[in-house]
């Protein structure tokens, strides 16, 4: 009998003896003490998340090569709101020790960051390894571990060496699979003795949408009416890029499993952007539309990687537009991850656009799956609206998305790799306003509460990361939107904790690190598909 079983049996006996005494009052006590038990299992990861291009700066430092975002952000006419770039970002490259101190004072036990591919391989597999790049991540990882903070490392978070774009069109070419596998192997070999959580890609569902359907990310490829680009085909290229990313993921996982996993003992997953899609009515058509919305976004990647095939809805609608996996690829793909990384921020109502006519908009076209999204139903918002047009506050979405993934993918372990609240910098905004971030605290508290409900109901969730430790470069929004638990003054790069930092610290001290381990806890289970 293992410890968790013993604890469960012990708890059961305790209940047996307690109940007959005075059923009503003991039940209240039991309920109270249960209510006080942390829902978060032992070794649960509480952390903050970041990514290389959004944080590091140091864009020409120590032999780093140019990546796609360096080139894009310097190109006139790009779509970055404030004309800014990530050349300096929050200068994490030089200030990582200070940032680790901030993490340590929050009491987090983990940190999610990504590796700048061009820092390690300035020219991809067509050039040498940049040892200075390897050294930077070695120092970062060692400094984290010294403070008891476990690294969760994303191999590529949207950025990659420009060389790969120039040589063969990056993700549109199957050659990208080979480059990614080569890079992944170097990272596992260099850092895997200390890194136990790996993510291959961050939000490839969004990456291919922005890069190849709407064209607002490099390489700015799209076709009208999806966007206004010089080159591209919004109705075919996203599927080709996604196909190569899926196969690149599985190539890296295969390398990890055959060369490293046994000795290094870590796990590898992929992160998807996961909105919750709520059918706008009880009609079958709207329910099917919500399912199509999931299929054409997160399940586009998860279904192949877990089941070895694209979602049936995608196959039916897209036919020959959707690339095919060979029999060998299908076999290799199945069970092709150890955990699902969930980036969850907000929810939408979804309506059918297959049998009803919809105004053109996100999701409505055939190649997006014939659905339409809205934050409102009959003029009533799904949740409190925020500064950001795309974000509304619907904490129930957290329980719903986690439960949906649990049921769809047989409770494969999940990690909430991002969740956070954005505030827009206005011309007259003051630092003080940002520091007193009551709305962010309310948001995080609500979403964590719903996450704990999902866990109590049996979802195997292993970690939670706030986006983000610091305000940072938010892609097309530049520095106009702030997601940090710490405010960054972009003139001086001074970091100042916001109310949310104080709140998160308290939350972790009350709920984290197996503080209050009592019988009846959800124990970490072995992976089971
Ligand atoms: C549970 O928490 C409540 C208030 O949050 C407190 O009054 C009560 O004493 C706690 N019970 C136990 C068993 O710790
Ligand atoms: C598309 O982009 C070009 C060049 O940037 C611009 O001149 C044109 O007005 C744009 N068209 C639309 C419809 O936005
Ligand atoms: C700040 O400017 C916005 C418009 O940009 C305005 O609506 C708001 O009232 C201003 N706030 C203050 C405190 O002046």
Alpha-carbon dihedral 210, 216, 219, 223, rounded to 10 degrees:
80
Give the mutation target among 228, 229, 230, 360 for probing the ligand 2 site: most ligand atoms within 8 A of CB: 228
Do the Cβ atoms of 476 and 430 come closer than 8 Å? no
Residue 34 pLDDT level (bands cut at 50, 70, 90) = low
CA 429 to ligand 3: nearest atom = 1
Q: Is 228 in the pocket of ligand 2 (CB under 6 A)?
A: yes
Q: Which atom of ligand 2 is nearest to the CA of 77?
A: 5
What average pLDDT score do residues 391-397 get? 98
Q: Does position 527 have pLDDT exceeding 50, yes or no?
A: no
Q: Give φ, ψ of 227 to 5 degrees.
A: -175, -175
pTM, to two decimals = 0.90
From ligand 1's centre to the CA of 77, what distance in Å?
Answer: 58
Closest ligand to 37 CA?
1
**pLDDT score, position 512:** 87
Q: Which helix (H) or strand (E) is 46 found in, with range?
A: strand 45-49
Query: Which residues face 262 on adjacent strands?
Result: none
For residues 115, 116, 118, 119, the Cα torsion angle rounded to the nearest 10 degrees is -80
* Spatial distance between the Cα atoms of 344 and 346, rounded to a whole number of angstroms: 6
Which among 163, 203, 235, 237 is annotated as catalytic? 203
Whether 442 is catalytic:
no
Candidate from 423, 424, 428 with most ligand 3 atoms within 8 A of CB, to mutate:
428
Q: In angstroms, what is the span from residue 227 Cα to ligand 2's centroid? A: 10
In this model, does residue 328 exceed pLDDT 60? yes
Determine if residue 528 is left, alpha or beta; phi over 0 gives left, psi from -120 to 50 gives alpha, anything else beta: beta
203 catalytic? Reply is yes
Rounded mean pLDDT, 437-460: 97
Supply the pLDDT for residue 427.
84
Give the range among 235-244, 269-278, 355-364, 402-411 with minimum mean pLDDT.
355-364
Cα 427 to middle of ligand 3, angstroms: 8
CATH class of the domain comprising 3-347+386-514 = alpha beta
Half-sphere exposure (CA, 13 Å, Cβ side) for 99? 30
CA-closest residue to ligand 3 atom 13? 428
Cα of 516 from ligand 1 centre, angstroms: 12
């Amino acid at each position: 009998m293992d410890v968790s079983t013993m604890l469960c049996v012990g708890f059961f006996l305790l209940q047996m003896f307690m109940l007959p005494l005075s059923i009503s009052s003991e039940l209240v006590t039991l309920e109270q003490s249960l209510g006080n038990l942390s829902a978060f299992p032992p070794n649960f990861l509480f952390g903050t998340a970041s990514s290389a291009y959004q944080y590091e700066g140091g864009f020409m430092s120590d032999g780093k090569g140019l990546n796609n975002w360096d080139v894009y952000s310097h190109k006139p006419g790009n779509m970055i709101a404030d004309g800014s770039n990530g050349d300096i970002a929050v200068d994490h490259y030089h200030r990582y020790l200070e940032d680790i101190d901030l993490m340590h004072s929050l009491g987090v036990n983990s940190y999610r960051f990504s590796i700048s591919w061009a820092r390690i391989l300035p020219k991809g597999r067509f050039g040498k390894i940049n040892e200075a790049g390897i050294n930077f991540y070695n120092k970062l990882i060692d400094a984290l571990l010294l403070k008891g903070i476990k690294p969760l490392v994303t191999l590529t978070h949207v950025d990659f060496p420009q060389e790969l774009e120039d040589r063969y069109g990056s993700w549109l070419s199957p050659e990208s699979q080979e480059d990614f596998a080569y890079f992944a192997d170097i990272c596992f070999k260099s850092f895997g003795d200390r890194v136990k959580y790996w993510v291959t890609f961050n939000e490839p569902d969004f990456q291919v949408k922005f890069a190849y359907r709407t064209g607002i990310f490099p390489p700015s490829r799209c076709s009208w009416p999806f966007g206004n680009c010089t080159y591209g085909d919004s109705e075919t290229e996203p599927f080709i890029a996604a196909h190569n990313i899926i196969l690149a993921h599985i190539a890296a996982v295969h390398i990890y499993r055959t060369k490293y996993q046994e000795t290094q003992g870590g796990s590898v997953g992929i992160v998807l952007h996961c909105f919750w899609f709520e059918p706008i009515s009880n009609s079958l058509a709207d329910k099917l539309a919500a399912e199509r919305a999931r299929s054409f976004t997160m399940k586009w990647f998860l279904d192949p990687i877990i089941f070895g095939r694209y979602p049936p809805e995608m196959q039916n609608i897209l036919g020959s537009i959707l690339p095919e996996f060979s029999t060998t690829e299908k076999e290799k793909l199945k069970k092709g991850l150890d955990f699902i990384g969930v980036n969850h921020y907000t929810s939408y109502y979804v309506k059918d656009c297959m049998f009803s006519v919809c105004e053109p908009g996100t999701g409505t076209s055939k190649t997006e799956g014939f659905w339409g999204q809205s934050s409102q139903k009959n003029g009533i918002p799904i949740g409190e609206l925020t500064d950001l047009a795309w974000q509304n506050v619907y904490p129930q979405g957290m329980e719903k998305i986690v439960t949906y993934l649990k049921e769809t993918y047989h409770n494969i372990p999940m990690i909430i790799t991002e969740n956070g609240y954005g505030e827009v910098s206005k011309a007259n905004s003051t630092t003080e306003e940002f520091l007193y971030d009551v709305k962010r605290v309310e948001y995080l508290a609500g979403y964590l509460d719903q996450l704990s409900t999902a866990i109590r109901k049996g979802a195997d969730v292993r970690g939670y990361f706030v986006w983000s430790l610091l305000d940072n470069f938010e892609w097309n929004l530049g520095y106009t939107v702030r997601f940090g638990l710490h405010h960054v003054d972009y003139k001086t790069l001074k970091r100042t904790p916001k109310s949310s930092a104080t709140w998160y610290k308290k939350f972790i001290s009350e709920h984290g690190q197996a503080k209050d381990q009592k019988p009846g806890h959800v124990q970490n289970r072995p992976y089971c598909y």
